[in-house]
Structure 1
Amino acid sequence: MPRPTVPKLDRDLIRDTALRLIDERGLEALSMRGLAEVLGVRAQSLYGHYPTKDALLDAVANLLTRDIDTSGFDGHDWETGLLVWGRSYRAALGAHPRAAPIIAAGTGARQDFLAMADAVHGGLVGAGWAPRTATLISGSVKYLVVGAATTPFASGFADDTAVYLNRYPNLVQAHRIGEHAERIDEDSFELALTSLVAGLRERPDAPPIAVA
């Protein structure tokens, strides 16, 4: 009988399979041994490509951030830059919410993540923000994005009217939130992001918006 086929291992296959397992089972369930079982190889085979689990998670983080759009900062338009970046950042993490804690953990030596951070910081400073303020702005957007990806507001409400009836009079419509959860979460994030940008615009140290 022919021997069962074993996938040809490479870094991309290992990384992509790890992300799929995180999506399915959660970050806590990912292990090099379990990943090897799914790939049909021995765990030792993975270490020639990723010497540690942390190195593998760095690769996953790079993949998640690679296509986040920082092009809005072109021309030193910091307002457009923040809106485009924030929305695409949320979309990237929203597609893989169980992997969002990897991004929340920080940059480390993650090349694609650092490239994104460099583009954002450079765009803000280039537009006229002081370097320290640019750092604070970047952090504020990250808080919004990670929070939106990991703790969707609308999913926290029960759809049973009895939970609220006669006990929480200001939440008598809360049982309907689940029906519109996706839209509520999207609109809530949009409100937070645009309010942040509007507030920044009113700061006395805010640089002018570039005019095309």
Structure 2
Amino acid sequence: MARPRQSLLTRERIVEAAATLVDAEGLEALSTRRLATELGVRGPSLYHHFPTKNEILDAVADAVVARVDVSAFVTHDWHDALRLWARSYHAVLCAHPHIVPVLAHGPGRRPATLAMADTVYGALIDAGWPPARATHIGALMRYLVHGSALGSFARGFDEDPAVYAERYPHLRHAHLLAEHQHSVDEGAFALGLDTVLTGLDRLYRSLPGRKAASLPKGTRP
């Protein structure tokens, strides 16, 4: 009988396998040798599609960003669009936290990442934000989302109460934070996002000739 043909190696297969490996074991686990083994091919086969490991990581990072929903910038005002986009961005990165350090280096030439930046910046400019402020807002939102996805604040404390009992009396309940990871971490992100948007709305209303964004009833400061 003829031997079954090996499935075609494509950029998509390589990126999918690399993403699975990074999600499961972190950036350190990814090497071209390990990836080739996972795909059942020889190492040189990968170089036909990606000359370097960094290019594979860039492709993985861009594939993650491509999952972020930016459609709100077409259907909502700038304020609500920023909120919906930030929540989607945050959820996507929290599902793939190991790739965040790669994203932190900036968009580079990644198509999906550049398209997202273009959409956000363009919507802010269209809403009347000055170019410099639109740039600041894009950077600020990125800092908030990336920082919140890098790690868990709640899980950063030791679970032994004896660590805090005598020397750090104000942290006497810190050992319980891990039990409430979701509410602590998600609550912190939500508070940060609300605070940022409230401040931005005030700033927007102070711009010459600008009107306040349409905010949901009861949310305007």
Tell me the TM-score range normalised by the shorter chain. Answer: over 0.9
What is the aligned partner in structure 1 of residue 85 from structure 2?
85
Q: CA deviation at 1:210?
A: 4.4
Please identify, of 86-95 and 7-16, the stretch whose mean Cα deviation from structure 2 is larger.
Answer: 7-16
Q: For the structure 1 residues 210 and 40, does the alpha-carbon distance in structure 2 shift closer, same or farther, using more than 3 Å as the test?
A: same
Cα deviations by residue, 1:24-60 (Å, 9 ceiling, x for unpaired): 2211231111111111111100111112222212211
For residue 209 of structure 1, the aligned residue among 207, 210, 213 is 213
Once residues 12 and 99 of structure 1 are traced to their aligned partners in structure 2, the CA distance between those partners, rounded to angstroms, is: 17
Q: CA RMSD in A?
A: 2.0
Once residues 75 and 15 of structure 2 are traced to their aligned partners in structure 1, the CA distance between those partners, rounded to angstroms, is: 35
Does the aligned pair in 2 maintain the 1:76–1:126 contact within 8 Å? no
What is the aligned partner in structure 2 of residue 52 from structure 1?
52
Does the aligned pair in 1 maintain the 2:97–2:151 contact within 8 Å? no
Once residues 191 and 3 of structure 2 are traced to their aligned partners in structure 1, the CA distance between those partners, rounded to angstroms, is: 57
* 1:41-190 → structure 2 map (5 Å cutoff): 41-74=41-74, 77-190=77-190
Q: For the structure 1 residues 207 and 63, does the alpha-carbon distance in structure 2 shift closer, same or farther, using more than 3 Å as the test?
A: farther
Q: CA deviation at 1:155?
A: 1.1
Cα deviations by residue, 1:51-83 (Å, 9 ceiling, x for unpaired): 222221221122111121222222561111110
Cα deviations by residue, 1:148-180 (Å, 9 ceiling, x for unpaired): 111321111111111111221111111111100
Instruction: Please state if 1:197 is matched with 2:197.
Output: yes
Q: For the structure 1 residues 80 and 69, does the alpha-carbon distance in structure 2 shift closer, same or farther, using more than 3 Å as the test?
A: same
- Unpaired runs of 5+ residues, structure 2, are 217-221
Does the aligned pair in 1 maintain the 2:79–2:215 contact within 8 Å? no
Q: Match of 1:209, as an amino acid?
A: A
* 1:27-42 → structure 2 map (5 Å cutoff): 27-42=27-42
Does the aligned pair in 2 maintain the 1:6–1:41 contact within 8 Å? no
Please identify, of 113-122 and 143-152, the stretch whose mean Cα deviation from structure 2 is larger.
Answer: 143-152
Q: For the structure 1 residues 207 and 114, does the alpha-carbon distance in structure 2 shift closer, same or farther, using more than 3 Å as the test?
A: farther
Q: Paired residues, what number? A: 212
Q: For the structure 1 residues 35 and 176, does the alpha-carbon distance in structure 2 shift closer, same or farther, using more than 3 Å as the test?
A: same
Once residues 120 and 210 of structure 1 are traced to their aligned partners in structure 2, the CA distance between those partners, rounded to angstroms, is: 18
Q: CA deviation at 1:4?
A: 7.8
* 1:15-34 → structure 2 map (5 Å cutoff): 15-34=15-34
Once residues 183 and 84 of structure 1 are traced to their aligned partners in structure 2, the CA distance between those partners, rounded to angstroms, is: 19
Partner SS state of residue 202, structure 1:
helix
Q: Match of 2:56, as an amino acid?
A: L
Q: CA deviation at 1:194?
A: 0.9
